[in-house]
Amino acid sequence: QSVLTQPPSASGTPGQRVTISCSGSNSNIGGNTVTWYQQIPGTAPKLLIYNNDDRPSGVPDRFSGSKSGTSASLAISGLQSDDEAVYYCAAWDDGLNGPVWVFGGGTKLTVL
């Protein structure tokens, strides 16, 4: 069971906007920044969003992130077929024995 909670699946049609949620607690999302990764099967995770809502160069502005309290969201607008992937949220958790990098269980996005 993952420390961060994501829906296991999401879907949309081309051109639509979809949102993926990520729920945590005060010790992780509530006190630290959230990162989002995209993983196409058989490949390594790719950084999509860092510092809650910043995009690295090369990531289209169709991807956006937000955070409020102990929850975060990834929004993808203008959905495209090659957006089909698994999306993970991540945050550092202020564990009792030191920081722990925690991940959500992943959300599989299907483009219908």
Partner 1 sequence: EVQVVESGGGLVKPGGSLRLSCAASGFAFSTYNMNWVRQAPGKGLEWVSSVSGGSGYIYYADSVKGRFTISRDNAKNSLYLQMNSLRADDTAVYYCASESIWGQGTLVTVSS
- What's the min distance (Å) between Cβ of 15 and partner 1? 29
Nearer to partner 1, 10 or 50 (CB): 50
| Residue listed under structure tokens 């219908």 | 112
Question: What residues form DSSP beta bridges with 49?
Answer: 36
Nearer to partner 1, 10 or 100 (CB): 100
CA dihedral angle for residue 77, residue 80, residue 83, residue 84, rounded to 10 degrees: 120
Answer for the pair 91, 68: CB distance below 8 angstroms, yes or no. Answer: no
Within 58-97, the residues that bind partner 1 by CB under 8 A are 88, 90, 97
Answer for the pair 10, 107: CB distance below 8 angstroms, yes or no. Answer: yes
24 burial class (0-12, 13-18, 19+ CB within 10 angstroms)?
buried
| Interface pattern 19-58 for partner 1 (x via CB under 8 A) | ----------------x-x-----xxxxx--x-----x--
Nearer to partner 1, 8 or 13 (CB): 8
- What's the min distance (Å) between Cβ of 46 and partner 1? 7
Per CB under 8 A, residues contacting partner 1 are 2, 35, 37, 43-47, 50, 56, 88, 90, 97-106
